[in-house]
């Protein structure tokens, strides 16, 4: 199996409709042992979703911006496994006033929260897990990005800026962690109708772009293709791939405009 005997941390699980939950499901099906994280008032939802996995895993509380949470997470994983082979970083947040066309009026504090939680946190997770991944002899880190490095998506605003920063953080982490045999990549997914997407104003308009431009048929209700690519990157099948932004978006990133429809 693709992930046999791998010990994986999956962050950011809230509901069973999330990319993180589907990644945990595919990972278990491919032989991995997983631990999930949740946070605050959403912990109960995370625990409920964990119970819907093929093998209900442990759930650890993690506020990525609280150093004591990160310390406890590392201690718990060290006690449970002694080493970690990989992790999915599925953590992002932007205050309401940092989204929705409010770009010019967003206060600095809200932009800082968006950056710290959505981009800097990848470094926080990587640095925290480094000793455990060294114990495993290396491994793989994957984060979830959106295509903001070369274009601005309306209404995504400071989350878009943070996701662009996340792509850069991915490359820098790949450079610094390669000496430890740790690969660092990102998956840039098309729009999915998850709980997180509900916080994005005009999400339906964003998804409509995929209806017009995607060479393949994109289903906003199906996170499974994204989860499968995450699992490939977490596996030894991608052992010489690092610093990459892998698109799982039905090809929209490669299209300048919608292709003309021709009858067969």
> 51-78: per-residue pLDDT in tens?
999 999 999 999 999 999 999 999 999 9
CA nearest to 234, candidates 107, 133, 95? 133
Residue 209 pLDDT class (50, 70, 90 cuts): confident
Cβ atoms 231, 30 nearer than 8 A:
yes
d(CA 117, CA 186): 16
Q: Give residue limits of the domains in the chain.
A: 7-250
* Beta carbons within 8 Å of 94's beta carbon, 6+ residues apart: 110, 113, 114, 117, 118, 157, 158, 159, 162, 199
Lowest-pLDDT choice from 17-26, 134-143, 145-154, 237-246: 145-154
Query: Model-level pTM?
Result: 0.93
Asked if the model's pLDDT at residue 264 lies above 60, the reply is: no
Tell which CATH architecture fits domain 7-250: 3-Layer(aba) Sandwich (3.40)
Q: What is the mean pLDDT of residues 19-47?
A: 96
> 136-177: per-residue pLDDT in tens?
999 999 999 987 667 788 788 999 999 999 999 999 999 999
Query: Pick the residue with more confidence: 209 or 84?
Result: 84
Cβ atoms 144, 92 nearer than 8 A:
yes
């Amino acid at each position: 199996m693709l992930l046999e005997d791998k010990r994986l941390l999956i962050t950011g699980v809230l509901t069973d409709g999330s990319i993180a939950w589907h990644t945990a499901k595919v990972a278990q099906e491919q032989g991995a042992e997983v631990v999930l994280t949740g946070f605050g008032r959403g912990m109960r939802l995370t625990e409920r979703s964990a119970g819907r996995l093929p093998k209900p895993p442990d759930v650890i509380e993690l506020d990525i911006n609280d150093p004591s949470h990160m310390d406890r997470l590392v201690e718990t994983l060290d006690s449970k496994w002694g080493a970690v082979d990989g992790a999915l970083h599925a953590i992002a947040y932007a205050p309401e006033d940092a989204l929705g066309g409010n770009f010019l009026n967003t206060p600095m504090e809200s932009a800082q929260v968006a950056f710290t939680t959505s981009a800097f946190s990848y470094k926080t997770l990587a640095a925290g897990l480094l000793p455990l991944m060294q114990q495993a002899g290396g491994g793989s880190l994957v984060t979830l990005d959106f295509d903001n490095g070369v274009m601005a998506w309306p209404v995504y605003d400071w989350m878009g800026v943070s996701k662009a920063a996340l792509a850069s953080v991915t490359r820098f982490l790949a450079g610094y962690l390669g000496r430890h045999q740790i690969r660092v990549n990102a998956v840039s997914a098309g729009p999915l109708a998850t709980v997180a997407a509900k916080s994005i104003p005009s999400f339906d308009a964003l998804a409509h772009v995929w209806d017009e431009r995607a060479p393949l048929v994109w289903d906003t209700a199906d996170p499974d293709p994204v989860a499968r690519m995450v699992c490939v990157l977490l596996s030894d099948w991608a052992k010489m791939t690092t610093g990459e932004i892998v698109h799982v978006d039905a090809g929209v990133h490669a299209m300048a405009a919608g292709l003309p429809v021709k009858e067969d």
